[in-house]
Structure 1
Amino acid sequence: MRVSIALFTADLRLHDNPALHAALMDAERVVPLFVADTGIRRAGFAVPNRAAFLADSLADLDASLRARGGRLVVRTGDVVEETCRVAAETGAEVVHIAAGVSRYAVRREDRLRTELGNDGRRLRLHDASVTAVPPGALTPGGKDHFAVFTPYFRRWENFSVRDVLPAPGAVPVPQVRSAGIPRAESLTPTGPGSDQGPVSPGLPAGGESEARRRLRAWLAGPLAEYEDRGDDLAADATSRLSPYLHFGCLSATELLHRARAHGGPGARAFVRQLAWRDFHHQVLAARPDAAHRDYRPRNDRWRGDGEEIRAWKEGRTGYPVVDAAMRQLRYEGWMPNRARLLAASFLTKTLYVDWRVGARHFLDLLVDGDLVNNQLNWQWAAGTGTDTRPGRVLNPLVQARRFDPRGEYVRRWLPELGGLGAEVHRLSGLPEAARAELDYPPPIVDLTEATARFRRARGLD
């Protein structure tokens, strides 16, 4: 009886899962394996919001497997060691895994390949599991990746994306020892100094079942209006599917096919966002150091004002749209892309603080936080990444009037300003007596002076 292993990492789903599909084609029995990676915990990436979402996703995955006659096999420890141990216990000849792009994932794959090979077993990577277009599939002449999005997108649009794979009807699993499905608290670091705060109160439920429910709702109506309303902060008109893509509860390939089948301007705008996700993956695959180092160094001498950084994190900068974004992040563990750009631009260009400070804070809270999109979006906002206009500064007042003209988004997240109307974006114009009655701080920085400081520092004047 041939046995193979489907090692789940960033692909916690049954629908359109190339690694699981190939494992089932390879053998009569398959071990659907998840290893609660202690290395991730030590590296500081196992934060409460993502741990809670992961626990939901694993429970849902186990339930779906049981409905097909199988179950999720869970181990805890070093992924390579535990996978090799399961392979030895079951006699599995091949381990299937979705290919990653981070340095951590690539090193894990290299170790797996070596250790399995030492036992006469094989590792098989599946490139089109996490993205729609595999990193490295598209390259410009003489280079290993695209550094600018627009030419990448032109090629990406014409790439022949693989077909969507069906969910298996049955998953026969051999006898093998398994731990129970982990709870959220067991997936985060323990011991002195490990308190990372509570789970965000508005965190969404994880899992493939919830992902597919949200996908059906998105395709049934809101997608059609995405082009016009995607940046409308008050409308909350984005898909909110990013956490499910991050954990692989939803396939980027399936989402691309279904959006294209839907058609229309909204779908085209949404597809473009999927392309941005693939673009970032191919950048980091080629330049792993970009997770921590400037992709395009600007010789910045970043400021480190602790009080200003604290005000930014707590949503007390005195600029309502920025503060609303930061409070939404803390409450939901999520924020729309426009809010992320505003918050990031304010920290890196208005306060002139190192983008890594903001990226770490986002990773501490974002349920969809990962090294690929989080770090490269922060570099884009800071002007050290792939932005072709690195000197642009997003004025929070102008942005607020454009994307929250009636102040609804701000009032939703800043209850202390709930009695104001559209003038919530013009607090500086209120009489001093009226301002004094608000439980809201004055601006921590003057925008004109801050922009001038940034331009001097970057040598733009």
Structure 2
Amino acid sequence: MNVSVVLFTSDLRLHDHPPLRAANDAREVVPLFVRDTGVDAAGFAAPNRLAFLADCLRDLDAGLRERGGRLVLRSGDLVEEVCKVVAEADADEVHMAADVSAYAHRREQRLRRALEAEGRRLHIHDTVTTAVAPGGVTPAGSDHFAVFTPYFRQWSAQPLREAFGAPRSVRVPEGIGSEELPSRDGLSGLSEGLAEGGETVARKRVTAWLRSGVQAYEDRHDDLPGDATSRFSPHLHFGTLSPVELVHRARRAGGPGAEAFVRQLAWRDFHRQVLAARQDAATADYRTKHDRWRSERTAGEEIEAWKEGRTGYPVVDAAMRQLRHEGWMHNRGRLLTASFLTKTLYVDWRVGARYFLDLLVDGDVANNQLNWQWMAGTGTDSRPNRVLNPVTQAKRYDPDGAYVRRWIPELAAVEGPSVHEPWKLRGLDRAAVDGYPDPIVDLSEGLARFKRARGKD
């Protein structure tokens, strides 16, 4: 019987898994995950993601064992470790999901060359981590869409492949050694409220949310205190959920909420097709505005205040404190905090993107970097000079101040929308604000500085 290796990367699930389905067809299979030291060396081994990854790997192994298999874990250079396992199992092919980052592409090319040198084959599968493959839809005269709306029209018209279930059985050859599976126990620097990972948790969450949450998604996904988003982003990042399956299930649920949710999945695919075509956008401006950003040297104190949630603007600080506590932030909070750093403080978007990647459990290069560029006005946004006023936004999306009071205990005694402008409080009300700072910058001054820098004054 021939043997195949399935190399899991950011697709840590058994349901709707094209590489596993292809490899498992009348074969013995080695389900393999390599803890790639190259990823660690690049600085992406953030504690929150390592903990979530450990949960995912343990859950994946448990699911495989229920089907007669097991997960093989190795650590080191991914290409070297895959080739070792291929030799040990005498496998003739390796199956893995496509990815979009520059590092992933280089790694794939190295692996293909190494396997072909030994007479083995590498099969790359699309639509494992996206619903529509990057490059699956393109405009005339270009290799990718730079504007979301026309992309979404073509994306929506694409026929999706069928989503299929988990395999009933997985046969793993004997004698393939494995390292011990990691655990979040003993990891330091974790966010206190970090969510649990794994496909089992993810699928339960999907079932519950599609039953009771998706209907209100269109009206409430920006509601900060209501927390009515799906919170699927960590599971999409680690691949414990299939984007193809999510689109199918949401469309079956139907209604405006489901349609709005599918649109968000399309945004995720949109960013991945941009990065696939323009891999330097992870670190360089997609559309430069020739900004002379304030640096960490010149704006260090303000950057630290932003990181610590002590800018004096409560909704910004609440979102940054949520990030520290949960390793996750509400999407509206991400927009507000990014606008404040890049537009009000006029600090380089890369500073914020790097800090988010240090903490976010869903720290995805495509989504994180390109959303930061969108907000900084250097990305695909058609209105690059838009500035989100944190007070106006807070009154709209947290009208009674419940979100702010949840995350800023210094302001817990301030009732109603007054909590969004504590510097305006007087007398005993002002005295009740214990230790909360005044604004580090006047909004009008920040706006004027930004307009001067962009030549819009």
What TM-score, normalized to structure 2? 0.97
Q: CA deviation at 1:19?
A: 0.8
- 1:430 is aligned to 2:429: no
* Aligned amino acid, residue 55 of structure 2: D
Q: CA deviation at 1:431?
A: 1.1
CA distance in 2, matches of 1:433, 1:347: 32
Matched with 1:360 is: 354
- 1:108 is aligned to 2:107: yes
Matched with 1:372 is: 366
Matched with 2:450 is: 454
Matched with 1:192 is: none
**1:8 touches 1:97 (CA, 8 Å); kept in 2?**
yes
Matched with 1:399 is: 393
Give the superposed CA RMSD.
1.1
Matched with 1:194 is: none
**2:97 touches 2:126 (CA, 8 Å); kept in 1?**
yes
**2:12 touches 2:239 (CA, 8 Å); kept in 1?**
yes
Q: CA deviation at 1:459?
A: 1.0
CA distance in 1, matches of 2:349, 2:430: 32
* Aligned amino acid, residue 24 of structure 1: N
* Aligned amino acid, residue 180 of structure 1: E
CA distance in 2, matches of 1:28, 1:289: 39
**2:93 touches 2:122 (CA, 8 Å); kept in 1?**
yes
* Aligned amino acid, residue 90 of structure 1: A
Q: CA deviation at 1:292?
A: 0.2
1:445 to 434, 441, 446: 441
CA distance in 1, matches of 2:398, 2:182: 41
**1:334 touches 1:367 (CA, 8 Å); kept in 2?**
yes
Q: CA deviation at 1:180?
A: 1.3
Q: CA deviation at 1:336?
A: 1.2
Question: Unpaired segments of 5 or more residues in structure 1?
Answer: 189-196
**1:12 touches 1:248 (CA, 8 Å); kept in 2?**
yes
Number of equivalenced pairs: 451
Any idea what SS the aligned residue of 1:128 has?
Answer: coil
CA distance in 2, matches of 1:94, 1:128: 20
* Aligned amino acid, residue 357 of structure 1: V
Q: CA deviation at 1:426?
A: 2.3
Q: CA deviation at 1:198?
A: 1.2
Aligned pairs for 1:190-209 within 5 A: 198-209=189-200
Q: CA deviation at 1:437?
A: 4.2
CA distance in 2, matches of 1:287, 1:249: 26
Q: CA deviation at 1:136?
A: 0.4
Question: Unpaired segments of 5 or more residues in structure 2?
Answer: none
CA distance in 2, matches of 1:103, 1:450: 35
Aligned pairs for 1:82-97 within 5 A: 82-97=81-96
* Aligned amino acid, residue 452 of structure 2: R
**1:51 touches 1:185 (CA, 8 Å); kept in 2?**
no
* Aligned amino acid, residue 324 of structure 1: A
Q: Percent identity?
A: 66
Any idea what SS the aligned residue of 2:421 has?
Answer: helix
Any idea what SS the aligned residue of 1:125 has?
Answer: strand
Aligned pairs for 1:105-144 within 5 A: 105-144=104-143
Any idea what SS the aligned residue of 2:4 has?
Answer: strand
Q: CA deviation at 1:178?
A: 1.1
* Aligned amino acid, residue 411 of structure 1: R
Q: CA deviation at 1:428?
A: 2.6
What TM-score, normalized to structure 1? 0.96
CA distance in 2, matches of 1:201, 1:124: 40
**2:115 touches 2:121 (CA, 8 Å); kept in 1?**
yes
| Deviation readout 1:206-250 (Å, 9 max, x if unpaired) | 000000011011101110000011000000000001000000000
- 1:15 is aligned to 2:15: yes
| Deviation readout 1:332-370 (Å, 9 max, x if unpaired) | 000111000000000000000000000000000000001
**2:413 touches 2:432 (CA, 8 Å); kept in 1?**
no
Q: CA deviation at 1:278?
A: 0.2
Aligned pairs for 1:49-448 within 5 A: 49-175=48-174, 176-184=176-184, 198-304=189-295, 305-422=299-416, 423-431=418-426, 434-438=429-433, 439-448=435-444
Query: 4+ residue runs of structure 1 moved beyond 4 angstroms?
Result: none
Q: CA deviation at 1:436?
A: 4.4
Any idea what SS the aligned residue of 2:24 has?
Answer: helix
Deviates more, 1:392-401 or 1:176-185: 176-185
Matched with 2:41 is: 42
